[in-house]
Amino acid sequence: MVRAGLSRDGVPSRMSVTRSMREAYARRIAMRAPIKRALKEAQEALAEELDKDPILKNPARIAALEAEIERLEKRIEAVPFIDTFDLRYHQLAPEPQPSSQAVMFCVMDVSGSMTQNHKDIAKRFFLLLYLFLEKHYEKVELVFVRHHTAAREVGEEEFFYSRETGGTIVSSALTLLNGIIDKRYPPAQWNLYVAQASDGDNWDDDSSICRDLLIKELMPKLQYYAYVEITPHEHQSLWHEYENVAKRFAERFAMRQLVEAGDIYPVFRELFKRRLSTP
């Protein structure tokens, strides 16, 4: 939080004494100036009347001028030294600070349809992304999330080499990811990147849930989200729902298809071409 100008409203602890006194001084000058002019004119008129010959003096006018002078002097004295109108308060506003630390979330489908070849391709993609982030940030942390019908945060060895069987519910991984961010990596202090690898297989009813989780919960917090689908086949419901997310967050959400290991580097450069050109 940094100071962001002055306001007439605020709490006493943030009052600007110097600015408040300056405003009070200016107000007193403005309010007294016309009264002082009228007072000077009345005093000059009274002096002129008193200098006249005794025969020509007008006692009624002299009394009126003296009463007017007294009234004007009281008006000048009645001008308050300081008024609530004069008070000024410092305002605070949040100012983003550049962060030199990033966290990379590696999210991978480890259901029965993901073969070891799929995982090897994903591992190469994750490695490229990690090297890219390490070049741009002083500190990079890795978080590994694997999922089939349920998601778990695991270590690197288990992430890449342990195999599971069963179906796929991608939303379990996104929900876990969102919880980890809220608990350990506040977006104000961390640059958040997510790389997700999958063969595209997912329960049809779950893909729309994934879309909503990304749009409403995750994307507002993330610097970038890269989704790679490792499959030679036609895209399924997950890809089509992710296309809706890409339309909403075109600058920060990217998705590409990988078929073999040779596709990884060209796809990586395409996904991060804007950020790779950033000094």
Give CA–CA dist 103/155, Å, rounded.
Answer: 15
Q: What angle do CA 61, 63, 66 make, to 5 degrees?
A: 110
Residue 115 has a pLDDT of 81
Complete DSSP assignment for the chain: -EEEEEES---GGGB-HHHHHHHHHHHHHHHHHHHHHHHHHHHHHHHHHHTS-TTT--HHHHHHHHHHHHHHHHHHHHS-SS-GGG--EEEEE-------EEEEEEEEE-STT--HHHHHHHHHHHHHHHHHHHHH-SEEEEEEEEESSSEEEE-HHHHHH----S---HHHHHHHHHHHHHHH--TTT-EEEEEEEE-S---HHHHHHHHHHIIIIIGGG-SEEEEEEE-SS---HHHHHHHHHHHHTTTTEEEEEE-SGGGHHHHHHHHTHHHHT--
Task: Report all structural domains of the chain as residue ranges with CATH numbers, in order of start.
Answer: 2-93 (no CATH), 101-276 (3.40.50.410)
d(CA 73, CA 76): 5
Rounded distance between C-alpha atoms, residue 272 and residue 254, angstroms: 9
The Cα 62–Cα 50 span in angstroms is 8
In angstroms, rounded to a whole number, what is the distance separating the alpha carbons of residues 241 and 245?
7
pLDDT in tens, the chain (279 residues): 888 889 988 888 889 999 999 999 999 999 999 999 999 999 999 998 888 888 778 888 889 999 999 999 999 999 999 998 899 999 988 887 766 788 999 999 888 778 888 888 888 888 888 888 888 788 889 999 999 889 999 998 888 777 667 778 999 999 999 999 999 999 988 989 999 999 988 887 899 999 999 999 999 999 999 999 998 888 888 999 999 999 999 889 989 998 888 888 887 777 766 554 444
Phi, psi (5° rounding) for residue 145? -125, 125
Who contacts 233 (Cβ-Cβ below 8 Å, separation ≥6)? 200
Which residue in the block uniquely carries the two structure tokens 């997310």? 245
pLDDT at residue 276 in the model: 46
Confirm if 91 and 3 have CB atoms less than 8 A apart: yes
Closest CA to 106 of 133, 73, 79, 69: 133
The residues that bridge with 3 in the sheet, in sequence order, are: 92
